[in-house]
């Protein structure tokens, strides 16, 4: 019961961020949802992600540190700076949010719940008897769960969204 209340509170706090993310979603963006995950999740993308875990760590590399967006992390009991624009946060009940820009985020833990939108590459690796479930591109992990898949073991990579198509050169008009 307590876990559900905390998740509800986290979702309520994240509503303004999710509204911003919804406004920022562009053509070609994909979505990822993870529910009660256990293992490792790597998101290397441009877009946004909000999430939490019961216990574990999250490592965040901000690839666009000069933009107006910065990572937010709450509840970490320990923080380690790993170099320029990269930090690792540890603890029980950690929540995080990255909205806008380009980033790489690595989550190791249990009880992982997250939603991401954008374009890039995702690596999922479940562990344990109950690795949790995920869905890509809008599949709902609510009831019934038939559309969701168990986190894979061994790790699998997936494309998040579709990259922007290259611009086509405009054909030159003939004078005449």
* pLDDT tens-digit series, residues 117-163: 999 999 999 998 999 999 998 766 655 555 789 999 999 999 999 86
| pLDDT given at position 119 | 95
> In the chain, how many domains are there?
1
Q: For residue 169, is it within any domain?
A: no
| Within-domain flag for 82 | yes
- Judged by DSSP in three states, 11 sits in helix
The answer to whether residues 133 and 150 touch, using CB atoms and an 8 Å cutoff, is yes
Decide if 171 is inside a domain: no
* Residue 172 belongs to a domain: no
Cα–Cα dist 74/36, whole Å: 19
**In the predicted model, what is the mean pLDDT of the chain?**
82
Q: Which tokens is 106 given?
A: 């690595």
Q: Which residues contact 170 (CB under 8 A, 6 or more apart)?
A: none
Q: Which domain holds residue 152?
A: 2-160
pTM: 0.75
């Amino acid at each position: 019961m307590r876990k559900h209340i905390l998740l509800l509170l986290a979702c309520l706090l994240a509503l303004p961020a999710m509204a911003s993310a919804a406004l920022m979603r562009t053509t070609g963006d994909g979505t990822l949802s993870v529910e009660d995950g256990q293992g490792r999740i790597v998101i290397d993308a441009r877009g946004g992600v909000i999430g939490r875990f019961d216990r574990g760590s999250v490592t965040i590399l901000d690839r666009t540190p000069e933009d107006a967006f910065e990572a937010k992390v709450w509840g970490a009991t320990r923080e380690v700076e790993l170099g320029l624009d990269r930090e690792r946060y540890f603890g029980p009940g950690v929540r995080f949010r990255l909205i806008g820009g380009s980033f790489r985020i690595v989550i190791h833990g249990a009880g992982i719940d997250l939603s991401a939108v954008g374009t890039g590459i995702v690596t999922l690796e479940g562990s344990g008897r109950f690795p949790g479930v995920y869905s890509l591109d809008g599949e709902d992990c609510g009831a019934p769960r038939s559309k969701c898949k168990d986190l894979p073991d061994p790790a699998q990579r997936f494309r998040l969204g579709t990259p922007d198509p290259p611009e086509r050169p405009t054909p030159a008009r003939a004078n005449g």
